[in-house]
Each structure stands twice: as C-alpha cells, then as structure tokens.
Amino acid sequence: MDYNSMLLNALQWARQAGAVQLGHFRQGNLDIRTKATEADVVTIADRESERLIIDGIHAAYPGHAILSEESGEEAGSGSGWRWIIDPLDGTTNYSQGLPLFSVSIALEHDGQVVSGVVYAPYTDELFHAVRGEGAFLNGRPISVAGKDRLAECVVSTGFPVDKHQTADNNLDNVSRIMPQVRGLRRLGSAAIDICYVAAGFLDGYWELNLHRWDVAAAELILAEAGGVSSRFRPDRGEAVVAGSPKIHDSLKSLLSATAPL
C-alpha cells in the first residue's frame, strides 16, 4: 500500500486547517459554544477545519470511513480504510488565545494506524510518521529522550472535561507523581503532549478520559520515535500513559488503575 502518498495529502490538509485556525486566532470572532460541559467547547475554527479535512478526504478517497471529533462516525464502503481526525486539539487553549493547539490526522488500515500527522500551527511544528519508517519533526528524525530516572524527568498531564462532576479527576495521580519528577506541566493538547514526548522535549505524559481522535496519530509518531504508550484505566475512555520504555513503566507503576475512593 502506498501510505506515503496518502500521508502527503494529510500533511497538506493539516497545513490548510492550521492556516484556517491562525486566521481566526485572537480575532474575537470564534462563535464559542459548549458541548458536554462548560469545560468542553467548540469554535468556528474547529468546524471550518473539520469541514476542510473531511471535504479533502471525500474528494480523494470517497470510499474511506471517517471518525472525527465534531461530526462523529461516517461509514465507508467497507474497504478497511478509516481516517481519524481531531481538527483542533486544544480548543480551550485556542479559545483563550493561548498558542498550544494542533491538528491531528491519522489513517487506519484494517484496524491498524499506518500514518499520522500532528501539526501545531502557531509554532509551525509538523510531526509525522508512517508505520515502520520512523518519526519526524519538520522533516528531521526524532526520538524519545534517554533518561531512565523519574527524578530527572519533566512530564505532563491533563484533566478530564468532567472534572467538576467527579472526584475521579486525576488529582490523586498528580499528588503521587509530582513529588517524584523534576517538573510537571499541563499543555492542553494531548496530541502535542505525546508528540513532545516523541521528540524528547517531554519525558512522559498521562491523562484520563481521552478519545481515539486525540491520540491516534500521536501514538504512532511516539512508537516510531522509540516510545511506548498504553492504557492504565479500563473504565475512563482512552486513559493514556506514554514515555520512553523505562519512563513509561515507572509512570504507570504510580498511576491508579481504579477510581479514587
């Protein structure tokens, strides 16, 4: 299969979506709406970016299935191809005028992600990977950091959108991990978090209650950069922990596998 030609299309769509987002960024015309909770927002840039990418897929690959954050699932012709899209990951950052947000596009074939693109428009950082061919940032190979002690590590996390409705909000994990690491960050875009682990800018990351579109592209990029990701909770969506092999294992050993009492 010519995954690379499909990757070129995804790279183009990601850059085009990023241009849409930069066009609205800090302009005060975002038409912000809430979804499941007050913490879960969507903007005109989410909707326009998603439409651009989906229209591109329809034109180039009319039989392919699509899973996208705002539009949900769109069945294909049964060919085994599916695009997984987060048109704007980090919408809260974006809506506040904070510059860490991204476009995430993954291509899945017969249930396996075979290529992934994550683009951070404001910083102009373009991450990509094709399965078996390594991971890249702006065309240069990347790999995870070589640290093997948590005390030397800077890690990141996030908090679920239902954090005000439940005590199962990640604070228990923060209280265990923060004293063990050099630094703890909260960037606000899961795709960027995982790609920064892939590039060695961060050493590890974990978060509860994510979705497939948040992580599909970034996890392939991480794996191709020599990293590891897995799930630490079976009951809280995509509960992801990521890092180099040793740091992944060290972080996972500190994370609760059940809801706090």
Identify whether residues 78 and 136 lie together within a single domain: yes
* Predicted confidence band of residue 2 (pLDDT cuts 50, 70, 90): confident
Q: Is residue 185 domain-resident?
A: yes
CA-based angle 219:225:230, to the nearest 5? 35
Could you list the residue range(s) of the whole structural domain that residue 244 is in? 150-254
Asked whether residue 110 falls in the same domain as residue 215, the answer is: no
| Among candidate residues 141, 158, 183, the one where a domain is terminated | 141
H/E run at residue 51:
helix 44-60
The yes-or-no verdict on residue 177 having pLDDT over 80 is: yes
Both tokens assigned to 98: 């904070």
- Asked if residue 261 is part of any domain, the answer here is no
* 96 in a structural domain: yes
pLDDT of residue 192: 98
Looking at the predicted structure, is the pLDDT value of residue 202 above 90?
yes
Cβ-based burial of 16 (10 A; exposed 0-12, middle 13-18, buried ≥19): middle
**How many structural domains compose the chain?**
2
pLDDT of residue 121: 98
- The answer to whether the CB of 259 falls within 8 A of the CB of 168 is yes
Q: How large is the average pLDDT for residues 69-76? A: 86
* Statement to judge: residues 28 and 125 lie in one domain: yes
Strand runs labelled E in 27-71: 33-34, 41-42, 65-68
Is there a domain that residue 198 lies in?
yes
Q: Taking a C-beta distance cutoff of 8 angstroms, is the pair 102, 53 a contact?
A: no
pLDDT recorded at residue 14: 98
**Residue 1: pLDDT band with limits 50, 70, 90:** low
> The domain spanning residue 224 has which CATH number?
3.40.190.80
> Same structural domain for residues 107 and 198?
no
Contacts 24+ apart (CB under 8 A), 19-22: 19/121, 20/45, 20/48, 20/49, 20/52, 21/45, 21/49, 21/88, 21/94, 21/101, 21/103, 21/121, 22/121, 22/122
On whether both 156 and 231 belong to a single domain, the answer is yes
Q: Give 240-257 pLDDT, tens digit per residue.
A: 999 999 999 999 999 999
User: Last residue of some domain: 141, 166, 182?
Assistant: 141
State in Å, rounded, how far the first CA of the chain is from the last one.
49
Sheet holding 228-233, edge to edge: 183-185, 154-157, 204-210, 238-243, 228-233
Q: Both 15 and 137 in a single domain?
A: yes
Statement to judge: residues 132 and 190 lie in one domain: no
SS3 at position 135: strand
| Measured CA angle at 61 (ends 127, 101), to 5 deg | 30
